[in-house]
Structure 1
Amino acid sequence: MEKRIINRVAGGHRAATAAVLAAALVGTMLSSVAIESASAASPRTSRASSTASSPAATLTAVNVPGTTALGAAAVDLAHYGYTEREYYADGKANRYRGAVAGALQTASVIDGNWPYRTRVLVRTPKPGHFNGTLIVEWTNVTIGVDADFVFAEAHDDLLRQGYAYAVVSAQNVGVNRLKTWSSARYGSLSLAASNVDPQTGGNIDNCGPIACSGDPLSWDVFSQVAAALKANPGRNPLLPGLKVRDVIATGQSQSAFRISTYYNTIQPLANVFDGFVAWDRAGAERTDLAVPEVSVNSEGLSGLAPTFPTSTYTRAWEVAGSTHGSLYAAQYVDAMFNRDKSLIGPNGQPESFTQWVEPSCAVLPPFSTVPNGLVVSAALDSVKKWIEFGKPAPPTILFTRDANGQFVRDANGMIEGGVRLSQFVAPTADQSAFNGTAFPCLVSGYHHFYTPQELEQRYGTSRNYVTQVAQAMFAAARGGYVLPYDAVAATLAATKVAIG
């Protein structure tokens, strides 16, 4: 049906206006959503975390009058029927030998009983909207402050689908900024532990060739917080009215590397998580774990980070035209940083995420409009189905490379292969996944929205533009690399773009 409708538009049939196309797409795509929802009643497969061996952290509600939570959601959660709570997380953690980037073997315990206290933000839907899955994000601290970039990029889908969501401060950089931002609220936090291996004298957590404080407790902190949330115990449960069936770990960029290391070295010991989604970029994953993992990677970072071979339980999806964070994610993080005044610039004054990026840019404004979050959402959905029904995620999909490993591009310089969203193949902006030679703008790209005249020159008519959007999004949805809902939403949005 979809193909006939698109062909009618392309063929110029008068009855097949953009509105008719959109209505038909809604019918066909939403029917597939209904089928997927109905399948939720099917028997579930066994989970890796059914024999979890990690102890649970003790979580207590944060209640410090006159203070607010740093990094609280930068959208109206109530609009989605969600509530956000912040907890202190206390426990005792092990230090591990072998939990280092690039390792493909299970880590070993050096010692234990290192006390810690950190914090976790928990976003929960009403019980009737909960889909049974808790996502736990390892915050990115590259900027010097906690940032939940996965939630920033994909929050609309995640909240619409009914996930519970936890944001964990697992590293010293984030915890130390929390303490300087509000000593009254966060002064008791600590992830302090020696990073010196008593056997070798070297770093336990490999920060590089120079000495560093490291984060040797981060692995158990992440495990124990997730274990507590999954158990959801007591008269005052952490996730009121919810019963968690499965838990997915996620993280972006620096946190994706940590998630990848966790998968390889800690997951076999802790056995807390049922699945993993890493966004830009995970390292190589071991092949002997029956735990699903999908890595979603941008074009912007493709030249700086290699793509590793995948296996029975791992996948890699590369997204054409995408940057290390889209314009959509940047706007979310800007709103969060501007509200909290938590990111301090070189002049000692608060600044936004965009302002942090811009000095390294050759072209302004930064960021591509290609929404990584649509693919990240599909990856989370695929891992959820893999866990619950044993249905493997769609196959690895990479950019086309020649015999020398170089990316293949068309005559217009557009990369070939990968997930090809409508924002890439039928854009409303002149954009690139790259911008200059300096980090972070090198991987942040740029965009210039087309003028009405440029849109008309490129597409001719609204009908032609809608057709191109529909073709791209249907192809991505058929492959499983975007959700049906998002294909419909993109097509409906395209009908509102006036051209010609």
Structure 2
Amino acid sequence: MVPTIDPVITAVPGKPNLLTGAYDLATVGYRADEFFVAGTATSYEGVADYLTRIVVLRPIDDAAWNGTAIVEWLNVSGGIDAAAVWFMAHREIIRAGYAYVVVSAQRVGIEGGLSLVGDASLKTLDLQRYSTLHHPGDKFAYDIFTQVGRAVRDGQIEGLTPKFVLAVGESQSATFLTTYVNEVDPAAGVYDGFLIHSRFGSAAPLDGTSLLDETGAFHTVAVPFRADLRVPVLTVITETDLTGARLLGYLHARVPDTDTLRVWEIPGSAHADNYTIKVGFIDNGATPLDQLVAAYTPTNDLMGQQLPHFINFAPQHHYVLQAAVAGLHDWVRTGRPAPSAPQIDMTDADPPAIALDANGLAAGGLRTPWVDVPTARTSGASAEDNVLLAIFGSGEPFDAETLARLYPGGRDDYLARFTAALDQAIGAGFLLAADRGEILELAAATFAV
């Protein structure tokens, strides 16, 4: 699957169609440049020509670039090219000064097709701009991603000759990246490390079958990471991913950490949450605290549907993912592995369930102050069977009586214990010191008693 001819990369004037947030990128010191990429991709069944697009997000000030490029496999589950990792971790990406390349790696994002929401493909949204694009199918997506990564590494994009190139992807994209690191990367050898965010237990097939086709036999097959990974792989797993939301849970593909693998399982987290649908849109690093607090406020309104419970509203998923970006980069840059985290505890039931502590929160796993010093019970579980709704988990704020029992000294008691737990998580490498002040402000502003 290693291509023999470099793709042709052409700059495209004008504004690319890419949702990065409700803020202007220029206000955070970044710009977006779009390129069309033309080439011939291979699969295990043949070759095909393609014309796709990439968008390069980078500091306006060239001196602010840290020398590393991150390449994201765009997520198409919602029928749109979504930069899911950028959306959840952009604060760290921006302040660290990464160049960030997003790739329309799959057919649905360009041409439309099976999705959980509808058709918001590039050709549907802007046919005039994207009418010439052509994607031959997802069996060719792996080689397209390889070719783009190699082009980035080799300096084919003007102004970028990175020291390191990292690959990232979330949810459906993470499932494709699982197959990529197991089956493609050993021969391709393009990327220096992988951040695989929220994969489930199975992996994408090589034949291009849609992951949203629930009849696919691959859904029932657990696919662990290979034991001899070529480069560092850091995987972030939420409770939803672990147990599965109508999908085979990562629990079935669990393997111990190795010299090249770290798996961070986050208690109290869901595959998607308030940050996904509300906070991330406005979070530009200068958003007033009251607006952040309002966006984190528990809600049961999800895309116009009223759920019988709040969706997950805990902030830890976003902050841990930012630490994962930094941790993978440090691992690749220095050779010092990212920290290992305990696995979330499971019961001996058949099937196993997540073991809960006295507060009804998941035991074990990567510990954060939101589960060790809680004000709410949050999880990856949902009462909804619909896969789109199920991935948002659930949350239940503690009542005043429970808060008074847990923190008899009131707000000061809570904040002292929260701060100690926060500093412990920062010291362990699972949260970033750069986020400490904001996290403490949020904790103080959201304590209800």
- Give the AA of the match of 1:463: D
**126-135 vs 219-228, greater mean Cα deviation:** 126-135
Give the structure 1 partner of residue 391 of structure 2: 443
Give the conservation status (yes or no) of the 8 Å contact 1:152–1:332. no
Give the structure 1 partner of residue 229 of structure 2: 289
Would the alpha carbon gap of residues 448 and 75 (structure 1) be closer, same or farther in structure 2, given more than 3 Å must change?
farther
Give the conservation status (yes or no) of the 8 Å contact 1:55–1:227. no
How many Å separate the matches in 1 of 2:3 and 2:322?
29
Given candidates 74, 82, 102, the residue that maps to 1:139 is: 74
Would the alpha carbon gap of residues 434 and 497 (structure 1) be closer, same or farther in structure 2, given more than 3 Å must change?
closer
SS at match of 2:242: coil
Kindly indicate whether residue 166 of structure 2 is the aligned counterpart of residue 219 of structure 1: no
Would the alpha carbon gap of residues 144 and 217 (structure 1) be closer, same or farther in structure 2, given more than 3 Å must change?
same
Give the structure 2 partner of residue 399 of structure 1: 344
Structure 1 residues 230-276: Cα deviation after superposition (integer angstroms, max 9, x where no partner): 2224xxx43x3x43111111111111110110001111121110100
Gaps of 5+ in 1: 1-51, 97-109, 193-213, 337-353
Given candidates 128, 151, 175, the residue that maps to 2:110 is: 175
How many Å separate the matches in 1 of 2:337 and 2:320?
16
Give the structure 1 partner of residue 326 of structure 2: 381
SS at match of 2:243: coil
Given candidates 113, 122, 129, the residue that maps to 1:185 is: 129
Would the alpha carbon gap of residues 284 and 247 (structure 1) be closer, same or farther in structure 2, given more than 3 Å must change?
same
Shift of 1:411: 2.8
Give the conservation status (yes or no) of the 8 Å contact 2:75–2:83. yes
How many Å separate the matches in 1 of 2:379 and 2:314?
9
Shift of 1:120: 1.1
Within-5 A mapping of 1:49-128: 56-63=6-13, 69-96=17-44, 110-112=45-47, 114-125=48-59, 126-128=61-63
Percent identity over the alignment is 31
Give the conservation status (yes or no) of the 8 Å contact 2:185–2:230. no
Give the structure 2 partner of residue 232 of structure 1: 155
- Give the AA of the match of 1:443: I
How many Å separate the matches in 1 of 2:321 and 2:309?
27
- Give the AA of the match of 1:418: G
How many Å separate the matches in 2 of 1:300 and 1:314?
21
- Give the AA of the match of 2:11: A
Give the structure 2 partner of residue 306 of structure 1: 250
- Give the AA of the match of 1:129: A
Give the conservation status (yes or no) of the 8 Å contact 2:106–2:138. yes
Shift of 1:124: 0.4
Structure 1 residues 51-96: Cα deviation after superposition (integer angstroms, max 9, x where no partner): x9775432222225xx752435543322321111111111111112
SS at match of 2:370: helix
Shift of 1:402: 4.1
Shift of 1:115: 1.1
Give the conservation status (yes or no) of the 8 Å contact 1:153–1:371. no
Give the structure 2 partner of residue 470 of structure 1: 419
Given candidates 65, 74, 97, the residue that maps to 1:162 is: 97
Shift of 1:485: 1.7
Give the conservation status (yes or no) of the 8 Å contact 2:28–2:94. yes
Give the conservation status (yes or no) of the 8 Å contact 1:153–1:325. no
Structure 1 residues 146-176: Cα deviation after superposition (integer angstroms, max 9, x where no partner): 1111111111111111111111111111111
**253-262 vs 459-468, greater mean Cα deviation:** 459-468
- Give the AA of the match of 1:433: G
Structure 1 residues 26-47: Cα deviation after superposition (integer angstroms, max 9, x where no partner): xxxxxxxxxxxxxxxxxxxxxx
Would the alpha carbon gap of residues 427 and 187 (structure 1) be closer, same or farther in structure 2, given more than 3 Å must change?
farther
Within-5 A mapping of 1:406-421: 406-421=353-368
Give the structure 2 partner of residue 27 of structure 1: none
How many Å separate the matches in 1 of 2:131 and 2:3?
31
The two structures have a TM-score, normalised by structure 1, of 0.71
Shift of 1:488: 4.1
Structure 1 residues 406-436: Cα deviation after superposition (integer angstroms, max 9, x where no partner): 4321233211011222233334555443221
- Give the AA of the match of 1:181: L
**221-230 vs 254-263, greater mean Cα deviation:** 221-230
Kindly indicate whether residue 428 of structure 2 is the aligned counterpart of residue 479 of structure 1: yes
> RMSD value over aligned CA atoms?
2.8
Gaps of 5+ in 2: 112-120, 201-222, 284-299
Give the conservation status (yes or no) of the 8 Å contact 1:55–1:224. no
Given candidates 190, 202, 206, the residue that maps to 1:272 is: 190
Give the structure 2 partner of residue 329 of structure 1: 276
Shift of 1:367: 3.0
How many Å separate the matches in 1 of 2:87 and 2:400?
30
How many Å separate the matches in 2 of 1:332 and 1:453?
29
Shift of 1:455: 6.1
Give the conservation status (yes or no) of the 8 Å contact 1:322–1:371. yes
Give the conservation status (yes or no) of the 8 Å contact 1:324–1:443. yes
**422-431 vs 377-386, greater mean Cα deviation:** 422-431
Shift of 1:453: 9.2
- Give the AA of the match of 2:175: F
Paired positions, count: 389
Would the alpha carbon gap of residues 370 and 55 (structure 1) be closer, same or farther in structure 2, given more than 3 Å must change?
farther
How many Å separate the matches in 2 of 1:499 and 1:358?
27
SS at match of 2:58: strand
Would the alpha carbon gap of residues 360 and 252 (structure 1) be closer, same or farther in structure 2, given more than 3 Å must change?
farther
Give the conservation status (yes or no) of the 8 Å contact 1:321–1:368. no
By relative contact order (CA 8 Å, sep 6+), the higher-ranking structure is 1
Shift of 1:296: 0.3
The two structures have a TM-score, normalised by structure 2, of 0.78
Kindly indicate whether residue 100 of structure 2 is the aligned counterpart of residue 151 of structure 1: no
How many Å separate the matches in 1 of 2:314 and 2:304?
16
Give the conservation status (yes or no) of the 8 Å contact 1:299–1:323. yes
